[in-house]
Every structure is written in structure tokens, then in C-alpha cells.
Structure 1
Amino acid sequence: MTDARSIPVDPTSLERLAGQQLTYRNIDMSLPADAEAFFRADARGFLDSEPSAEVITATTAALEARRNIGVFEVGADEGALPVATVNSWVTPLTVPGGEVDMWAISSVTVSGTHRRRGIARALLEGELRAAASAGVPIAGLTVSEATIYGRYGFASAIPAARITVDTRRAGWAATAPAGRVEYIDKETLRDHLSTLHDVARTQRSGQIAGWKLRWDRVAGLTPDHPSAASVRGVRYLDEHGAVRGVMAYKLAEIPDTFRFEMTIFHISAVTSDALTALWGFALQHDLVDRISVDLRPIDDPLPWLVSDRRGVEVVVHDHGWLRILDVPAALSARTYRAPIDVVLRVVDSLGFAEGSWRLTVDDSIARVVPEADAAVDVVLDVAALSALYVGGVSAVQLRAAGLLDATAQVAASIDDAFRAAEAPLLGIWY
């Protein structure tokens, strides 16, 4: 797998920013002053509190594994905060039938003093050119502002569900699986979160590999966790004593009620029994009237496990965004649920995926070749193709929205081929 740190800064963005008297360069995280400046600028960009020295030290170790870039005023003093930041790394992205290398992009910030100067454009286009130069066929990110990234060819491809439960109304109707649920300490919670994610992420498309700092934070083991003392963990062991599920959560009293709300930070379950057992623990917990959790798959079975599904509110929202850079490499990296033979005309204003491509699928295996002279069956923007890629968005729906030009029959055949057996999931932010 490509090490993103080996890829130099993009020369086009370097030249564009230099024209504004801005320096665009890699950050050496082994230099304490650079590392602190990058992290403080990142915190400022996301409106977080000023990080303590302890938080900076804890975070720097994770950032050392990434390609960190800052934009500085020309002649800025050593240790000066960058006016913009971005970082990236290459991670496996689970797709139907396997994995593909993805250029993960994070820490995209521009200082409020330097807005409307094209810096974000230089950063994001620079990341895409860097990824393409490294031969990585797709880029991805999670976003705080959903209106920014479509202009660069990204699309919401992995929706997520935010679930809220009124436990007294919902009740519980499922049969308890064999096995047991038990409490665990935070270190064990962290280790199970990591281990089970490594298994669970291969079971649904859309997931990426985790990292230690992510699980330290979920388990309440980092100095910046806002409610570390409240974090609790349970695990599910099957009838043979194997750990098959884990859940991190906290409890907080609902004011003046002597009743509680459970906020679930993360659930990872590698069997349906494990998920049922963990949901059962939560919904039948003493004194808990309300449960909230985010980043669940949109086909989570919870509404079918309760007595009154009107006690379960499911709100679907965008979460994982993808951007195809290499059409043949991306489309041939996954399998398909039905045969298809179509010519796709892909429009890409940045040029990476531009062209006409014949996609032929036989026995779930894809063959993708350029077809400059063939009759076109589908015309779509690269963002629409990226939305379809992991099987969580409907081509029929995109056609109805005017984002895919094809007959109804062709759009339906794309759905038959592309849709994943289970809804894609991205259970973490990055």
C-alpha cells in the first residue's frame, strides 16, 4: 500500500498559492514546533478549544503516520500557525467483494482570516492530484459542511442513520441470544473496539481501517474526551465464550426526572446475535428512558426487535463521501450482484475520470475498457458515479433527480448490479 507521506506536495497548488505569497509545504511532525502549530491550527479550524500540551502530545503520534500539509504566510516565523491545513493517508476501503486503496482526506481547515482566496480549492485539488499521481483510484472524506465538496467531484455515497429510542414506548420483543453480556474496563473496551472493527469492517462496504487514537477516544482514554469519566463498556460473548460484540456508551440523568439517557458512542458486532444482545442490553437497562446513537447502517434491524417501532426514530443523513479518480481501477476492484453491459459517459471537470467506459460484468467480475466511439447508454457526472460506487445509492433515484441520463430500464439494471447486499456503513469519522 502506498505511503502518502512519500508523495510530494502538488506543484500546481504550490504555484497557485505562491502567487498569493503563501507557502504550501509538508509538515514534519517530528519537529515539536511544527507539530504543535499544525494541531493548534486544526483545532482552531474546527472551533475546538485550545489544545493542552498533553492533548498535543497524544495526538501527534497518530498524525506522524499521515501526510500533513500546511499553508503559511511567506516569511512566517518558526512555530507560526498555518493559515490552512489538510492531512491524508492511504487506507483500505471495503467494497462489495473486497477492498480498494483509498486516499483518505482529513483536517481540512482554512483560517477565518484567509477565506475566499481559493486556498481550500488548492488544498483539495492538490490532494486529488497527489492521489492520482500515486495511483490511488479513489478519494474519500467525512465532512462538516456538506455544500463544499461536490464541486470537486465528491458525492455522498455512504449514508448513515441517527437513531433515537423512547425505551418505554418501544419495549423489547426479540428473543435473547445464547451467550452473555458483561462489563469491561476501558483498556479492554479499547482493545475490543479495535479488534472487532478489523473484522466488522470487512463485512459491509464503506468501512475503512481504524487506528489506535480513534479507539482510545471512543473508550475515554484520551485527555481531550469531554466525558471520559462517564464512558462505560460492555461486550457480548457467544455460547462458546468468543467475543463477538462490544459497545461504548455513557449515561446522563434527564433533568429533574431521576431517569437517564444512554448515549452510545460505538457498537461493533460481527454476528447478528451479538448485535441483538447489545441492543437488548441497552433497551432493557434499568432507569434508561432514552437512547441515542449515530453512524448506524440505514438497515439496522432495531425497529424489528422492539414491540412498538414507533418508539424508534431513524434519521438518515450523509456521512461518507467518495470521489473516483480512476474509473477502470475503481470499478474493477468490486464485484456486482447482476450481469450488466453498459457504456458510461463520465463527465469530470477536473479530468481524472473523464471519458466513455464500457462496463461489462459476468459472474460478478467486472471488465472496464475505454470506448470512445461506442453508443453511450448512461451520461453522468463523476460525483454521481462516486455516489453509486459502494452500493448504497440508487441509480433510479439519481435519474429521477436529473443526475443520471439513461432510460428507466438502464437505471434499474445499474441498481441490480451495483447495490450491495447490505447497506454500506462507515461507523467512524475521519
Structure 2
Amino acid sequence: MNTIAPAVAADETAREAFREGEVDQESAARLADNGLEYRRVAVDGDEYVGWLQSVARGFQDGERTDEQIAASRERSGYRRLTGVYDPAAPVDAPVATIASWLGELTVPGAATIPSCAISAVTVAPTHRRRGVARAMLEGELRAAQAAGIPMAMLTVSESQLYGRYGFASAAPAASFEIETRRAVWTGPRPEGRVDFVGRERVREVLPVLHERVRHRAPGEIDVQSSQWDNIAGVWPGAEKATEKRAVQYSDAAGEVRGAAVYTVRENHDDFTKATVNVHYLLAETDDAYAALWRFLLELDLVASVHAGELSVDEPVLWMIADRRAAKTTVRDHQYVRVLDVATALEARRYAAQGTLVLDVADPLGLAAGRYVLTVDADGAGTVRRLAEGETAEGIAVALGITELSAVYLGGVSLATLAAAGRVTVTPTEPGDVAKATAVLGWHMAPRLSIWY
């Protein structure tokens, strides 16, 4: 049969409580000292149009049309929207924006942790260097902590901005440019079938498949419906939506196990050398993964296949004859920020048994303290916060909240950060760094397959 089961709805109570929460008063007071107003924006209110146009301007996009505004309003109900307003400005539109929502982040061990997802961070060039971005981001972090959310996360356009707030690159993304002539498929040839489907069909398939697989890889998140509209090309604001093509993979039993969305850019100088851009590929099984990649790499009249937001250890590189046919670029992508050390550390699993005494510094004062992490033989961790002056047995690790956030998903090793002078292990006994690294490591590279 060729069916897709419905996804399970997430708990809306906690999401609504965070969405409807008040702005942080400390940030509001700081902005007021600069003659600015800090306020929430209702998705169904008149202020939403100005807020959305400010976001578009901030990301160097064109003005949103009435149709795009209506579609965006309809799909933005899950977000908490905040704007910074200048009463002296000639128009009633925010000079800075931020959006957030309560999402779920997959952590090592196939568990999830509630996380404040942050997006749409903009500051108008007319109001830079007035502490606006700092007030918004610190305010959002304090609001999340006050709501009991133990983690914050975001994908960023300017990576150098967020370390000052305790965020760290935790799930890098790889991009591939694969020369099809040289690649030559050597991987499996599954018995299932690949079929073209319409954009509405792939919009139906993707979220259900994603719900089945998102708990496998650290760094993945729950994806809101508006994201799927954009990926599938059914949202009125999606760029060049009609150029998107979609395929699905069904296994030998007829069950849909994977799908891909891509576009083809024709080469007018040589019609045998088109370029394929893979916008999204999702596979529930190894067979689906192999079949979809083989389909893309063996398309007729195509010279190269481009794909992004991939894992740094994608299996496809071991499914082609010539690894040099693939040009790989790795960049920072998913950033996370621990807000509650004990809750965050107890949520994930660990690669080795051991005890670490973590001395965590936090310039914002949200998560600073000394904690004992004890990991048992099954990889489960328990955390105890130490009282002032209290001592404990274990490998002592001094690090900032940025460094703790960086190692949290297993994307960078503690040994690497120690070699970079970002982490101190004391007293340094032979093997201590290696032992601490083994505890905090994980067998799978983290990944996030979307921007948000």
C-alpha cells in the first residue's frame, strides 16, 4: 500500500504559555532609556504587517505582497513576535525584530529537549550600535529561562554575533557539489521504486517522514507546517515554486520511505550540463537514502548535483566511485545555548562512563555554577549542583557556557576545545582530557537539515 500515517500533535499548552508571555522587563527598561519601546506583536493584529515588512527589509528581501502577508499571517500563529519601536520614527514599524517559539531539539540518545527556537533577528541600519540586538537577545533568553525552557537554538546569518550571548556552533552543515560524470554510482540498488509526485503530495509526505526520523540525529528539530509549505513550494511566498520537482521512494512493500525536492538549472551553452539543486532529501531507511541519491546522480543531461544542510559524515560519499567528484564545504549551521545545565545534561546520553566536575562560567549569569555529572555504565547521566565551597571527586573541567553548548550535541570534542585553549582540565593527569572527551562524545555527527 502507498499510505502515510498522520503525525502526532505536539503539546500546545507549554507552547502557548511561552508565546503569550510578556517581554523581559530588564530589556524593556534598557531600551526605554534609549527612547525605544519593546513590545510583543500579535500575529492577528494591525502591527503584524509592519513587523513582517521590517523582517523582509532586514534580510534584504523585497516588500511582501498582500497575498504573501496573508499567507505568512496564517502560518505564523505558533511564533512569539517581538518588536522594538522608535516613537520618533515617521512610520509605525519596528526598527528591530525577533521571533521565537518553543520547539524540540534532538539530543544524543534519541531524546528531545524543549528549546527556544529564535529567528527573524533584525536591526535597522538606522538604529545600530544602540544596544538593541543585545537587549532583544538577552531578553529572549531570560524569557525562555523564566518559562522553564532549558535550551535555546538558532541558525544564523552572521555567525560572529552570537557567541557573546553564550551560543555555540553545535551542528555544522556540509554542502556537496558532485560532478556526476566522475561520481559513478557504486552503492546499493534497492528493489523499491522512485516516482515523480506533485508538490502537494510531497508536502503531505515530508512532515510525516520527518516525524519518524527526527529523533535519530542530534541537532534535528521539530519542523513547523509553514516550513514544509516553503520546502515543498506550496507557500505563495516561496521563490520559484513552480520550478520545484519532487520524487518519493516506496519500498518493495509499497510503503513510502523517502522523498526529495529539487530544481534543475539548464545550461544554455551545453544542454548536457545542467545543474541540479537538491532543496531537501529525507530518507527513513538506508534503501530510501540510496535510491534517492542514485536517482539524482544519474539524471540525464546533468553535469553536477548541489546539496546543502547535510551531515558532515554523509554515507553518499561512500556510494560513489570517485570521492574527488564531490567538492565538500563545511560551515557552522545550528547554534545552541544551554540555559539549564542540569536539565540539559540529564536529557542526553553519553558515550562512556565517568564523573566530571564542571565549573561553568556564564557572562549573562543564566547558567553559571559548579556541577557534578555522573554517567553510569548505560550512558545515563545525573547532575548535581555543588554548593559554594563544596568539593567533589571527578575530572575537573572549567569551561564557559559557550564551550559547554558546543560539545553538547557531540559536534566538537572536548579535546579540540582544550587544545584551542577554550577548556581547562585540572589537575591534568595522563589521560584526563581523553577520558572527559570520551564521556561527552557521541558516535553520530549532529545535523540539522533546514534553516529557520
TM-score computed with the length of structure 1 as normaliser: 0.97
2:443 matched to 1:421? yes
2:409 is aligned, of 377, 390, 415, to 390
User: Does 326-335 or 414-423 show the bigger shift?
Assistant: 414-423
Structure 1 CA distance for aligned equivalents of residues 89 and 286 of structure 2: 55
User: Does 220-229 or 132-141 show the bigger shift?
Assistant: 220-229
Structure 1 CA distance for aligned equivalents of residues 155 and 125 of structure 2: 21
1:325-336 alignment to 2 at 5 Å? Answer: 325-336=339-350
Structure 2 CA distance for aligned equivalents of residues 206 and 29 of structure 1: 28
Structure 2 CA distance for aligned equivalents of residues 313 and 291 of structure 1: 10
Question: How far 1:366 sits from its partner (Å)?
Answer: 0.8
Q: Which residue matches 2:282?
A: 268
Give the AA of the match of 1:391: G
Q: Which residue matches 1:402?
A: 421
2:375 is aligned, of 361, 366, 374, to 361
Q: Is the 8 A contact 2:249 2:259 kept in 1?
A: yes
Per-residue CA deviation, residues 283-335 of structure 1 (Å, 9 max, x unaligned), is: 11111110001000111011110011110112111000000011001000111
Q: Is the 8 A contact 2:278 2:305 kept in 1?
A: yes
Structure 1 CA distance for aligned equivalents of residues 320 and 63 of structure 2: 43
Structure 1: give runs of 5+ residues left out of the alignment. Answer: none
Aligned residue pairs total 428
Per-residue CA deviation, residues 163-218 of structure 1 (Å, 9 max, x unaligned), is: 11000011111130121111101001111111111112111111111111111111
Per-residue CA deviation, residues 356-386 of structure 1 (Å, 9 max, x unaligned), is: 1110000211111112422671111100000
Structure 1 CA distance for aligned equivalents of residues 21 and 432 of structure 2: 40
Structure 2 CA distance for aligned equivalents of residues 43 and 206 of structure 1: 27
Give the AA of the match of 1:87: A
Question: How far 1:159 sits from its partner (Å)?
Answer: 0.6
Q: Which residue matches 1:51?
A: 64
User: Does 218-227 or 240-249 show the bigger shift?
Assistant: 218-227
1:278 is aligned, of 289, 292, 300, to 292
Structure 2 CA distance for aligned equivalents of residues 367 and 350 of structure 1: 25
2:261 is aligned, of 222, 241, 248, to 248
Q: Which residue matches 2:31?
A: 17
Question: How far 1:239 sits from its partner (Å)?
Answer: 0.9
Structure 1 CA distance for aligned equivalents of residues 436 and 284 of structure 2: 29
Q: Is the 8 A contact 2:173 2:311 kept in 1?
A: yes
2:391 matched to 1:374? yes
1:116-135 alignment to 2 at 5 Å? Answer: 116-135=129-148
Q: Is the 8 A contact 2:197 2:246 kept in 1?
A: yes
Structure 2 CA distance for aligned equivalents of residues 365 and 22 of structure 1: 47
Question: How far 1:418 sits from its partner (Å)?
Answer: 2.5
**Compared with structure 1, are the counterparts of its residues 411 and 255 closer, same or farther at alpha carbon in structure 2 (3 Å cutoff)?**
farther
Q: Is the 8 A contact 1:205 1:420 kept in 2?
A: no
Question: How far 1:422 sits from its partner (Å)?
Answer: 1.7
Q: Which residue matches 1:39?
A: 52
SS at match of 2:159: coil
Question: How far 1:223 sits from its partner (Å)?
Answer: 2.1
Q: Which residue matches 1:348?
A: 362
Q: Is the 8 A contact 2:76 2:226 kept in 1?
A: no
2:338 matched to 1:321? no
Give the AA of the match of 2:325: G
Structure 2 CA distance for aligned equivalents of residues 283 and 59 of structure 1: 35
Q: Is the 8 A contact 1:343 1:374 kept in 2?
A: no
1:69 is aligned, of 82, 100, 110, to 82
Give the AA of the match of 1:389: Y
Structure 1 CA distance for aligned equivalents of residues 303 and 189 of structure 2: 20
Structure 1 CA distance for aligned equivalents of residues 165 and 138 of structure 2: 7
2:191 is aligned, of 156, 170, 178, to 178
Question: How far 1:336 sits from its partner (Å)?
Answer: 1.1
Question: How far 1:76 sits from its partner (Å)?
Answer: 6.0
1:142 is aligned, of 155, 174, 180, to 155
Structure 1 CA distance for aligned equivalents of residues 431 and 363 of structure 2: 28
Q: Is the 8 A contact 1:387 1:393 kept in 2?
A: yes
Question: How far 1:92 sits from its partner (Å)?
Answer: 0.9
Q: Is the 8 A contact 2:188 2:287 kept in 1?
A: no
Q: Which residue matches 1:8?
A: 22
Give the AA of the match of 1:368: V
Give the AA of the match of 2:209: L
Per-residue CA deviation, residues 137-163 of structure 1 (Å, 9 max, x unaligned), is: 110100000110000000000011011
Structure 2 CA distance for aligned equivalents of residues 255 and 287 of structure 1: 12
1:89 is aligned, of 101, 105, 108, to 101
User: Does 88-97 or 363-372 show the bigger shift?
Assistant: 363-372
SS at match of 1:48: coil
Give the AA of the match of 1:192: V
Give the AA of the match of 2:419: A
Q: Which residue matches 1:290?
A: 304
Structure 1 CA distance for aligned equivalents of residues 409 and 433 of structure 2: 16
Identical residues among aligned pairs (%): 43
Per-residue CA deviation, residues 7-63 of structure 1 (Å, 9 max, x unaligned), is: 2100000000011111100001111x2111111000001111111111111111222
TM-score computed with the length of structure 2 as normaliser: 0.92
User: Does 189-198 or 107-116 show the bigger shift?
Assistant: 189-198
Structure 1 CA distance for aligned equivalents of residues 411 and 241 of structure 2: 34
Structure 1 CA distance for aligned equivalents of residues 224 and 256 of structure 2: 20
Structure 2: give runs of 5+ residues left out of the alignment. Answer: 1-10
SS at match of 1:350: coil
Structure 1 CA distance for aligned equivalents of residues 166 and 21 of structure 2: 22
Structure 2 CA distance for aligned equivalents of residues 200 and 245 of structure 1: 10
Structure 2 CA distance for aligned equivalents of residues 6 and 225 of structure 1: 28
SS at match of 1:291: strand
1:227-242 alignment to 2 at 5 Å? Answer: 227-242=240-255
